[in-house]
């Protein structure tokens, strides 16, 4: 197939995906599989090999992603049931003081959302937000936007949350670089999109915190601990897997891989082993030492895995799409075309994720699909591990942009803050766009150093 034909096949595949998800309301997992199979036929994959390509794509991604997402979910669930997430929020707010509440809430949202899913962050921290808004007599949006900004950007840029883990798995990125660059890109994004824009929009959209009895969050039938761990202990446990992964990245850059010390660091700093260590520490230090028995921890672990099945399947289906594109030779076609136009891969990654995000709504689907689109270009190029990490962050930044009515996050925020659709667009959607552009601009500015 010609270069133009291959490029048109990508456009057609995305259009089909859009129609299946948005038009026919087909589930993203099924839609990705259907689109992948149709694309494989169109680009000339032999009919007898199509199912083999599907299996290779699914297995190639899930071998890594399923383990990371599952362990990350367990880690976050332990933080939740032991009260550790609320303890982080309370301590940071007390430390910063009422004058710096927006900054403290931005940091709180960021830290809590690294191991905990975004919607769970809302459920956990919204009652705290309402209380602070009443006590400090501050506009609700002035406090809510920084909290949402911190949680949203961490969820999209910093592993072990599913989006960046999925993109890293598809692109073969070093999670240490993704964590480091994701954190660096998040700081100015939260300051501009969260703290400063929150102050701006809070003065223009006046909504009050709901009454204490208005919340209809359901109590979950699961154990809770008898006491809450200290803030220092919680932060230490949270930091262990991140520091192990980052330590491995640094060791790879400065040490000889044949040295025994380097091999030990490589083992414990592997994302899978690092998260296993983090989960075991959380089970014992945060769980068993604070009132949870072995059977209760079993319940917590099982409960944590219930919501991740969907994420894992969608991610695997995205891997299938990527495998089809790789088999088609579209990566070489894209690389040649973009080379002629002078468009860097990192910009392509951001734009692809942004377009998919606006079209499809689901950030995880946008992340996985955009990563699959640029994966052949990354594999065919001569990129450093740091640069591949930057491309993953660019994909994550694109997946944040302009959440609107086709995104479940839009309606969660709309419901919890008591906003109209127009107010939600002016606050949440604009904030998401600022986060996206600033995070991408930050990581793009760093590419000469990578």
R_g over Cα of the chain: 22
Distance from C-alpha of 433 to C-alpha of 231, rounded to nearest angstrom: 33
> What is the number of structural domains in the chain?
1
Q: Quick: pLDDT tens for 272-298.
A: 898 899 889 989 888 888 777 888 888
Cα 367 to Cα 363: distance, rounded to the nearest angstrom = 6
- For the segment 180-191, the average pLDDT, to the nearest whole number, is 97
User: Would the pLDDT of 218 be above 50?
Assistant: no
Asked if pLDDT for residue 155 goes beyond 80, the answer is: yes
38 or 327: which carries more pLDDT confidence? 38
Instruction: Write a three-state SS string for 323-382.
Output: HHHHHHCHHHHHHHHHHHHCCCHHHHHHHHHHHHHHHHCCHHHHHHHHHHHHHHHHHHCC
Q: Which residue has the tokens 């219930």?
A: 306
Tokens of 166: 């999925």
Sign of the four-CA dihedral 374, 376, 381, 383 = positive
Q: Is the per-residue pLDDT at 423 higher than 90? A: yes
Position 308 pLDDT exceeds 80? no
Of the ranges 104-118, 152-166, 229-243, the best mean pLDDT one:
152-166
Percentage of the chain beyond pLDDT 70 is 91
pLDDT at 219: 44
Looking at the predicted structure, is the pLDDT value of residue 233 above 70? yes
Peptide bond into 160 cis (omega under 30): yes
pLDDT value at 435 more than 60: yes
Confidence of residue 210 (pLDDT cuts 50, 70, 90): low
Give the DSSP per-residue string, 249-281: HHHHHHS-TTSHHHHHHHHHTSHHHHHHHHHHH
CA 191 to chain centre: 19
- Between 347 and 68, the higher pLDDT residue: 347
Write down the pLDDT at residue 1: 67
Would you place residue 172 in the very low, low, confident or very high pLDDT band (cuts 50, 70, 90)?
A: very high
Q: According to the model, what pLDDT value does residue 247 have? A: 87
Query: Residue 4 and residue 330: Cα distance in Å, rounded?
Result: 10
CB 237 within 8 A of CB 286: yes
* Structural contact between residues 400 and 435, judged by C-beta atoms closer than 8 angstroms: yes
Upstream peptide bond of 376 is cis (omega within 30 degrees of 0): no
Of residues 61 and 317, more confidently modeled:
317
Contact criterion met (CB below 8 Å) for 229 and 87: yes
pLDDT tens-digit readout, 75-85: 878 887 888 87
Report the predicted TM-score, pTM, of the whole model to 2 decimal places: 0.76
CA atoms of 410 and 418, how far apart (whole Å): 12
What does pLDDT average to over the chain? 84
Segments in 172-285 forming alpha helices (H): 175-189, 197-202, 231-254, 260-268, 271-281
pLDDT at 195: 96
> How does residue 171 score in pLDDT terms, banded at 50, 70 and 90?
very high
What is the phi/psi pair of residue 279, to 5°? -65, -45
135 lies in which domain range?
3-449
What does the chain come to in residues?
450
Distance separating alpha carbons of residues 318 and 365, to the nearest angstrom: 7
Tokens matching residue 258: 């044949």
């Amino acid at each position: 197939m010609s270069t133009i034909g291959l490029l048109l096949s990508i456009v057609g595949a995305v259009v089909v995906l859009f129609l299946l998800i948005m038009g026919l309301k087909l589930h993203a997992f099924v839609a990705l599989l259907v689109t992948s199979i149709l694309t494989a036929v169109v680009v000339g994959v032999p009919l007898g090999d199509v199912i083999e390509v599907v299996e290779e794509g699914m297995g190639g991604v899930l071998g890594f992603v399923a383990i990371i997402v599952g362990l990350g979910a367990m880690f976050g669930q332990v933080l939740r049931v032991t009260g550790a997430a609320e303890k982080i929020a309370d301590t940071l707010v007390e430390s910063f003081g009422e004058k710096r509440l927006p900054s403290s809430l931005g940091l709180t949202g960021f830290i809590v959302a690294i191991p905990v899913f975004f919607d769970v962050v809302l459920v956990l921290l919204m009652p705290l937000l309402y209380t602070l808004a009443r006590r400090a007599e501050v506009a609700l949006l002035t406090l809510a936007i920084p909290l949402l900004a911190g949680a949203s950007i961490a969820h999209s840029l910093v592993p072990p949350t599913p989006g960046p883990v999925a993109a890293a798995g598809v692109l073969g990125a070093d999670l240490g670089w993704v964590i480091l660059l994701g954190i660096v890109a998040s700081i100015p994004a939260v300051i501009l999109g969260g703290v400063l824009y929150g102050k701006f929009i809070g003065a223009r959209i006046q909504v009050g915190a709901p009454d204490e009895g208005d919340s209809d969050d359901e109590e979950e039938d699961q154990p809770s601990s008898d006491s809450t761990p200290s803030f220092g202990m919680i932060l230490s446990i949270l930091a262990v897997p991140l520091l192990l992964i980052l330590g491995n990245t640094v060791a790879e850059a400065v040490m000889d891989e044949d040295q025994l010390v380097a091999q030990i660091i490589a083992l414990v700093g592997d994302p899978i082993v690092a998260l296993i260590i983090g989960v075991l520490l959380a089970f014992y230090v945060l769980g068993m030492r604070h009132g949870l028995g072995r059977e209760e921890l079993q319940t917590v672990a099982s409960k944590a895995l219930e919501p991740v099945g969907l994420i894992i399947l969608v991610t695997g289906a995205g891997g299938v799409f990527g495998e089809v594109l790789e088999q088609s030779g579209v990566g070489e076609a894209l690389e040649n075309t973009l080379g002629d136009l002078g468009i860097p891969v990192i910009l392509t990654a951001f734009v692809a994720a942004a377009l998919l995000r606006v079209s499809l709504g689901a950030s995880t689907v946008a992340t996985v699909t955009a990563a699959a689109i640029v994966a052949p270009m990354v594999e065919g190029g001569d990129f450093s591990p740091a640069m591949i990490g930057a491309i993953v962050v660019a994909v994550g930044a694109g997946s944040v942009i302009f959440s609107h009515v086709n995104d479940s996050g839009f309606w969660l925020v709309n419901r919890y803050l008591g906003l109209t659709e127009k107010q939600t667009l002016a606050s949440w959607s604009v904030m998401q766009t600022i986060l996206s552009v600033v995070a991408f601009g930050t990581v793009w500015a760093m590419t000469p150093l990578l």
